[in-house]
Structure 1
Amino acid sequence: MHVTSLRFTSEEPLDGGVLAREFTLGEIPGTLWTPGSAPAPLILIGHNGGLHRREPRLVARARHSAARGYAVAAIDHPGHGDRPRSAADEQARADLRRALAAGEPVDEIFESFVGPLVEKAVPEWRATLDALLALPGIGGPVGYSGMTAVGIRLAVSEPRIAAAGFFAGGYVPRAQREEARQVTIPLLFLLQWDDEGNPRQRALDLFDAFGTKEKTLHANMGGHTGTPWFEAEDGDRFFGRHLK
């Protein structure tokens, strides 16, 4: 894909020597958090629903990792966050919310919404990775943490991704369920046992399907947004084993 060079638009010093900078890369808006020390390994971080790079839980995770010596980057996926939404995007969201609330099947709605999102988002992540690794103070190897469907495609198509942490989603497009068998990098898979939006057995089946020999499942009680904060610490230790 063709994009212009990365351009920083603002910066904000944070506690612990962390610097948060907003950037644009063509049409892609993003945020980069960097520690005071360099060089720093890079973690690409995405919201599990692909919503907004400034979602509070995502920002908290990014700042936590940056304070521990990682460079962390997040972007808004097409149709999310600060980016324009098409009428089809809005209709798919409305259909998905209605079906989930009514307990109706959502597989085809999910396919029509998330499948195209993966196809658009992954090339943008790879272009962002090219630009970030060209910056001083940021180096490889690279980790990915976040949305499972996008992460699976990145794990099998981007050789610079050395380890990944996925937030377990029961609803993953069929293409990514097949691609899961090709994932060979170390993997940390987080599962909320009572996640109201992601069927538990599907998530367990997906974990079983991953082809990597080094995969770890962390299951915690609670709903979709109830992931315990100590998992952020465990995630940093996981990336520390593979990126530092």
Structure 2
Amino acid sequence: MVIDPVARRTDGESVRIAKDVLSAGSHAKICLPDTPEEFARALSRRGSRRPVVVGDDHALLRAVAQLHRERELAAGVLSLIPVGAAHALEVAHALGVPRGAVAAARTALDGAVRRLDLLVDDSDGVVLGRLCIPAPTLLADAPHTGVTAVWDTCRSLMTSLVRPAAPGASGGPQGTYRLRVEADGVLLSDLDAPVRGVSVHSQGDGGLADVVVRTSDGEEVTAEAKAVTVSGADFRYRADIQTGGPVRTRTWTVRAGAWGLMLPVPAS
């Protein structure tokens, strides 16, 4: 049981409840890391134990990213007990993790394993749920420094807007990009057509992602794909709760059933 330090500071009572429920139902080893390095060591030294993470979306993403880098993700199963601010638990709840420490702890003990898809980019970054490239003036100017950046205790993306692009940088209307978007090799948008945003959303366990390209005139071009490549002028993107970029090209590929998460047993 790895308890994120922000969870301990944010809601110590929920952390205590989670510890009590898990300890009553299993032989739980409690780890209280204070730094990213300690978090990584605790996860790496889990042995045959199934890791239970107590924390928010940042903690879950950090655990998944580490196990992916260690190539241990496919062999194991994660549990999450969500503790944190409501806005920092949206990914967890969208995946089906119960709200509340008691329900989530019981799910960690008695739930069912669900194999979920994972979006993996060509720099080995991971996306659990949704990726988006919003209009340039809407994306927070949060520099991406890797997984350890999310350890910041503020636990939020910066809210300042990106600096306006230089005249002619995008070559299109204000608030648009000129991007080439391909889904499984099929061209959805090219550099001659300004777009206001791109989103890629994992279907969960279908082996495909839903791709939506929003054009400058408000239309949407949609597709289902296993791989999505975006290229063009420097762009930033938001992957779950992290901001990446600027980059000029990036490919995201769906890894079907790449990771396991303990979720409530489906109603019969």
TM-score relative to the length of structure 1: 0.34
Which structure: greater helix fraction? Answer: 1
Which has the higher relative contact order, 1 or 2, with Cα contacts under 8 A spaced 6 or more apart?
2
Which structure: greater strand fraction? Answer: 2
Return the index of the structure with the highest Cα Rg: 2
